[in-house]
Structure 1
Amino acid sequence: MGINRRSVLAALGAGTAAALTGCGSGTSEGTEDGSAGSGPAKGEISLLTPIFEGSDGKKLLEQDILGAFRKKYPDVTVKVDYTTYKQLNEKITTAIAGGLVPDVLMIGVGWVPPFAAKKVLAPLPESLATAHGYEERVLEPSRYDGKLYALPTVMATRLVAYRKDYFAAAGIKKPPANFAELRAMAKQLTKGDRMGIDPYSIDLRQCWETFLFANGGSLFSADGRKVTFTDQRGVEALQFFKDVSADGSADFARKTEGDAGAPTNIQSGKAAMMVTGSGLWKQLREQTPELIEKDLIGAFVLRGRRPAMLTGGTLVTQSARTRHPEAARALVEHLAAPDSILAAAEQRATVPGLRELRSSEYVKGNKLVDFSLQNLDSACAEGGTPAWMEIREKIKPTLEPAIVGGVSAADAIAELGALAESAIARL
């Protein structure tokens, strides 16, 4: 029988939630590394989160998820501070400067090395990595310097969605095996007002990274101290955008802003293919359900020298300077437990990174989420260096001139590489 959100939430105070340890070392005065031990979980703690947006998200977090947490830990009060991913880094940086870092933080994939290196985050016991069936690819971005600093909650994937009806009309029977086939296919599918492919309606940083990884490239060396995206593979990934634009198969000026709620180009029929994520399924349901009913939307993993599916998402971490480490640790575990993850994933139409949730009604009812979980062996994560927070902000403005202006792909990548090397040198 599939797991659904209602049955899971009903069990929050018992079942899985009862298995949470929630204990830790230190006293209410806090410890140098925020570690937890044998003391009881009590006190008022703060939670900073960029997810659970809107009234529905707030209700889910405060009434359902934290409501269950209060039943298990009645002596812990949680004060929630909501923000957005656009403001999250600035908010954390300001908190560090003011010495008032929230007790529990929800951060993005790639963010652990920068903040762990600054000793903002407390290492977590390795036993938490096996407390539930977290997908190993999802756990990788939670580590830094051999230690576990975070637990995954929900994932966001980047894949290519396509219109099955347009493929059929063009006689295309299988996804492209490499960039050359993808470019040729985009040209073939371009017709009248319809673009062959829309790679621009997601964040340019994430889109280029997806193509970089699919081209067999990487961002940084294993230790995060050397830039590796400046080789030919990084240049070719950016050049692809220039090529499809030159072909007339893509148009940067016609990108849609997904977070603005407007139908995407693939929904409106203005693009035959589109780089997107699992959240598209929720938009399809709400705005163009006929595309689901007629089974007109398919998906494939981008493939160049290898298949690659960029996988981001939200991790939950504990402050190294919390005054209530036991309570903070308990909340970290609770937010990363199956019941909380499933509820958050369903609310955001994102991907739960737990093996046991693959059979849930939610996953089986969202074909792009299901597809993402079936292809986690192709997952690649951004970040990998303590300098990431500075570098990530420079990717989009540095690469965009190569698409909308006359800057060559090689020059744009070289400039980004120089900026990244400078950031790393300051560590």
Structure 2
Amino acid sequence: MHRVAKNTSLALFTASALTLTACGGSGGADVGAGAKQTLTVWAMGTEGEKLADVAKDYEKAHSNVTVKVTPVGWDVAHQKLVAAAAAGKLPDVMQMGSSYLGEFADMGALEPVDTKTFKQDDFFPAAWKQGAYDGTTYGVPWYVDTRVLFYRTDLAKKAGLKGAPTTMADLQKAAEAYQDKAGTKWGLSIQPSGLDAVQSFYPFLYSAGGAILDGDGKAVVNSAEAVKALENYGSYFTKGLADKTFRPGYDVTKDFNTGTVPMFFSGPWIVGLLNDNYPALKGKWAVAAVPSDKASVSYAGGSSLAISADSTHKAAAKKFIGYLTDAKGQADWYRRTRDLPANTAAWQTGELAGDADMNVFRKQMETSEALPAQPKGTEITSKVDDAIGAVSQGDSSAKAALDKAQSEIEGLVG
């Protein structure tokens, strides 16, 4: 599964997107959920491929509805959505990543969520937050994603370590011990620069009490907490504990398997990759919560499902989204895709309830944070990517790099 894309940060915002104005709600009268109709749905990447199978099952129980699912590659998703919005031809239902939603909500292209039907308390707080913009909810959480620490338990024993590091200070001591006593080349894999380096930085930033934007959408990326977090992050490169060379498409699992890298932060899909590709590694690795600074806080990603403001099939669209996001639908979706349910009730029974690894992710999701939805979300995070690269390469202090990012982000959020 295409993880960078799954977090929807690949797409770059275009000038056309920012100048669009949508005539929300001008699509005419709704035909009603019981009418014979075709519901158009766009979903991205692997989700688009898997959703077609779910749609077939849905049609069996709803004979009046034909669900036409169009899989869209993440590499062209933003462009296609922008073009469709400009032409007034968005699908009835569309997958919205966290970096998209604010942009399209700001255009007026999305229908507000019926919060009497979809309850905020049914979902992880960070997942619900990702579907909200300017005080209104536009997306129903579909699946969630967060980052935890993967570490080699066998090499930890060689290094004289007892269990996973629980604090940020312990994390760096563990990285040093892996190198010095277990003979690993690196102590920790974190992204030094390039697109989406911010995703690697988030656990450090959030755990230190920092943020890019506060709850009011104001830039706060040069706060004392954020500077401390970037100083800590940058120290791994200056001390030779992490590789400062950025390699696009880098597969950390290969180096994790050989022992070149003993620790890294990543998401739930890695569990399956390690089990499938490196069965001999079983019993030699584990997952743990993000080490605490002020707290243990990670990054929240995932996707929401939104309805076009111009759809004439809103009632049917709402029923289909309800099918996908209730506890039963979410458990089924996890079985098909291994996407983590956004609906917390889906974790209480069945396969997920007894999965120790996945429940590390569940616990982390309860405290995870997400960037507030913004029309220029991807541009905002790219400024932090630049700051991270400047620090990792020794071109700037953390304070100077984040002061620069702060100034640039202030110009983007108004």
* TM-score bin (small chain): 0.7 to 0.9
Map of 1:234 onto structure 2: 226
Q: How big is the alpha-carbon RMSD for the aligned residues of Structure 1 and Structure 2? A: 2.9
Conservation of the 8 A alpha-carbon contact between 1:187 and 1:248:
no
Over 3 Å counting, the alpha-carbon distance change for 1:61 and 1:377 in structure 2 is: closer
Q: In structure 2, what residue type is equivalent to 1:197?
A: L
Q: How high is the TM-score relative to the length of structure 1?
A: 0.81
In the alignment, which of 273, 280, 296 is matched to residue 283 of structure 1?
Answer: 273
Conservation of the 8 A alpha-carbon contact between 1:152 and 1:315:
yes
- Distance across 1 between alignment mates of 2:144 and 2:359: 12
- Distance across 1 between alignment mates of 2:93 and 2:401: 38
In the alignment, which of 355, 363, 366 is matched to residue 374 of structure 1?
Answer: 363
Conservation of the 8 A alpha-carbon contact between 1:186 and 1:249:
yes
- Distance across 2 between alignment mates of 1:108 and 1:421: 23
Q: In structure 1, what residue type is equivalent to 2:410?
A: E
Instruction: Give, in angstroms, the shift of residue 340 of structure 1.
Output: 3.4
Secondary structure (helix, strand or coil) at the match of 1:248 reads coil
Conservation of the 8 A alpha-carbon contact between 1:111 and 1:383:
no
- Distance across 2 between alignment mates of 1:131 and 1:138: 9
Instruction: Give, in angstroms, the shift of residue 364 of structure 1.
Output: 4.8
The residue correspondences of 1:3-152 to structure 2 (distance < 5 A) are: 31-32=25-26, 40-52=34-46, 58=49, 60-63=50-53, 65-130=54-119, 133-152=122-141
Conservation of the 8 A alpha-carbon contact between 1:132 and 1:337:
no
Q: What do residues 56-87 of structure 1 show as CA deviations (whole Å, max 9, x unaligned)?
A: x72x3223x10122123323333323224443
Unaligned segments of structure 2, at least 5 residues: 1-23
Q: What do residues 148-206 of structure 1 show as CA deviations (whole Å, max 9, x unaligned)?
A: 32111111111111111122222222443433332222112114443111122994121
Map of 1:13 onto structure 2: none
Map of 1:248 onto structure 2: 240
Say if 2:323 is the partner of 1:330: no
Instruction: Give, in angstroms, the shift of residue 410 of structure 1.
Output: 2.4
Secondary structure (helix, strand or coil) at the match of 1:123 reads coil
Q: What do residues 300-320 of structure 1 show as CA deviations (whole Å, max 9, x unaligned)?
A: 223212110211111111111
Instruction: Give, in angstroms, the shift of residue 39 of structure 1.
Output: 5.4
Over 3 Å counting, the alpha-carbon distance change for 1:397 and 1:97 in structure 2 is: farther
Conservation of the 8 A alpha-carbon contact between 1:316 and 1:336:
no
Conservation of the 8 A alpha-carbon contact between 2:307 and 2:317:
yes
- Distance across 2 between alignment mates of 1:254 and 1:121: 37
Identity of aligned residues (%): 22
Q: In structure 2, what residue type is equivalent to 1:207?
A: S
Over 3 Å counting, the alpha-carbon distance change for 1:171 and 1:271 in structure 2 is: same
Map of 1:200 onto structure 2: 191
In the alignment, which of 385, 391, 414 is matched to residue 403 of structure 2?
Answer: 414
Say if 2:342 is the partner of 1:353: yes
Q: In structure 2, what residue type is equivalent to 1:245?
A: F
Instruction: Give, in angstroms, the shift of residue 266 of structure 1.
Output: 2.1
Q: How high is the TM-score relative to the length of structure 2?
A: 0.83
Q: What do residues 265-298 of structure 1 show as CA deviations (whole Å, max 9, x unaligned)?
A: 3233111211111111111111112333x25323
Secondary structure (helix, strand or coil) at the match of 1:219 reads coil
What is the number of residues matched between the two proteins?
387
In the alignment, which of 226, 249, 252 is matched to residue 257 of structure 1?
Answer: 249
Moved more, 327-336 or 363-372: 363-372
Conservation of the 8 A alpha-carbon contact between 1:41 and 1:73:
no
- Distance across 2 between alignment mates of 1:112 and 1:33: 20
Q: In structure 2, what residue type is equivalent to 1:219?
A: I
Q: What do residues 336-390 of structure 1 show as CA deviations (whole Å, max 9, x unaligned)?
A: 2334323333344332122332244432565432211133332111234343243
Unaligned segments of structure 1, at least 5 residues: 1-29
